[in-house]
Structure 1
């Protein structure tokens, strides 16, 4: 991006890709990470993280993968649109099992179970992380529940961490999923950023990307971004990215309120003072 050189950046500070090198340790994400790490180390069976679109679930998931203790083998399935057969094969692949695809599902389940026992006996815990879990078909969720039944006298052989939008809670409230719901030992909800957290978040991302100058976004610009984004990190990133483009076009290193306003007007889901931007003339 052309403005990287203008601001002396090594990376894109407001990329929508979940880049853990730009991670900002603000309370909502730190609380979720701390809860997850403690629960995983204690061997709890099923964990759940719910958050609205854009609140950073995938970033927390990636950060958790990076911070897993050495004795924990993490499996990650980013695409949950899988039927039970596909879910078992995806888990087998994450467990580094080189299998003959002529195996039937019962044989595949037995091989996975054997692998989980081997890892446990070698002192490893296995944790399966699933992103966008609200989209997992009911049959897929049931297949996962059956794997979480595998346990020794002290610990589960497979722990499950579900990351999903609020629709995940609605799915789990269904009677046919009550067995899985009852196995959820810890859950947390990612919130949007509070007003006083937005400016530090914006500045941290710039610094993490290599910026060394005075803050680009002042307090008034940051307050405007907070109001328009409702504290949703993804929207904050989109508005800041577009503002930096406008700054580059003007050759400036400070974001003016008018530039932020233009960026807000160009951001589809932004709102201000309770109104859609497009409705404000």
Structure 2
């Protein structure tokens, strides 16, 4: 694609949460600080929520990678599980090798025994649940009951829930009032401001290997921020498409028309009500789409040429 054109060693705006690109943005740092304080205080339930694409999974992985040695983590990335499946998943994460014929009472006994053993060794277990808004009602209740497992000094297991705003809506219902009262620490990830987006884009480009002057102007950063509503995932998509168009036209810097075309090509963006000023893509409504297709074809052709040369 455009890696060689901009002197990059890797794609800077991938959608997979990569802690190697983690940048100390204020909302992400604050979320991690809240989590660290809550874990140190031994609280049973901790919750982090945020709109789709605001970086919950990235914060989740950063937390797992930075836990001190006295913590043993159990991670559930797909929580759409029944209570029975949830207990089996926890048992596997704790390293238990139980017979499949165990009933739930027996399985709970072995989980409790394992938690007590880890506690005696000075280990604190942290169960981290991503996409917690997908938990069935019965499984949410099963999680609450897990926090009843405790020694005379502390909880045997702490739970961290990462979820979308729908999780907050469910917890506000009368049905989950007991669980809601047990959440002592919570944090809501907010969207980014334009200056944070500017620092975020420049940071990712630098990590990817870029060493030149800023590729995006302040004006275009503000345009992208408005269109993406400050959501990092959408910002990644728009920045990537802008670079594709810039590369396809042989430009050294991203121009406003590249950003506007990227916005027009992306769903779930906010209309900036800006025309394609001075665009060389033509006046056709499909001009910017042709530009993106050309950029993709050029990238594919470059990869094919390199593979053919390697074969020769």
Aligned CA distance change for structure 1 residues 74 and 274 (closer, same or farther; 3 Å): farther
**Which residue matches 2:68?**
69
1:212 aligns with 2:205: no
CA positional deviation for 1:102: 0.8
The answer (yes or no) to whether the contact 2:223–2:272 under 8 Å persists in 1 is no
CA positional deviation for 1:177: 1.4
Q: Which has the larger radius of gyration?
A: 2
Secondary structure of the equivalent of 1:188?
Answer: strand
The answer (yes or no) to whether the contact 2:132–2:163 under 8 Å persists in 1 is yes
CA positional deviation for 1:273: 4.1
The answer (yes or no) to whether the contact 2:53–2:232 under 8 Å persists in 1 is yes
**Which residue matches 1:58?**
57
Task: State the alpha-carbon separation in 2 of the partners of residues 96 and 252 from structure 1.
Answer: 54
Task: State the alpha-carbon separation in 1 of the partners of residues 19 and 252 from structure 2.
Answer: 25
Secondary structure of the equivalent of 2:52?
Answer: coil
1:224-276: CA deviations, max 9, x gaps?
A: 1011111111110000011111122122231000001100100101113489x
What runs of 5+ residues in structure 2 fail to find an aligned partner?
275-284, 286-312
Task: State the alpha-carbon separation in 1 of the partners of residues 72 and 252 from structure 2.
Answer: 45
**Which residue matches 2:114?**
115
Task: State the alpha-carbon separation in 1 of the partners of residues 113 and 205 from structure 2.
Answer: 47
- Give TM-score scaled by structure 1 length: 0.95
Task: State the alpha-carbon separation in 1 of the partners of residues 179 and 116 from structure 2.
Answer: 22
CA positional deviation for 1:216: 1.1
Secondary structure of the equivalent of 2:5?
Answer: helix
**Which residue matches 1:241?**
240
- Matched pairs, number: 276
- Give TM-score scaled by structure 2 length: 0.86
Q: Which runs of 4+ in 1 moved over 3 A?
A: none
Task: State the alpha-carbon separation in 2 of the partners of residues 240 and 273 from structure 1.
Answer: 16
Task: State the alpha-carbon separation in 1 of the partners of residues 26 and 8 from structure 2.
Answer: 26
**Which residue matches 2:231?**
232
**Which residue matches 2:139?**
140
Secondary structure of the equivalent of 2:47?
Answer: strand
Secondary structure of the equivalent of 1:271?
Answer: coil
**Which residue matches 1:278?**
none
Aligned CA distance change for structure 1 residues 9 and 245 (closer, same or farther; 3 Å): same
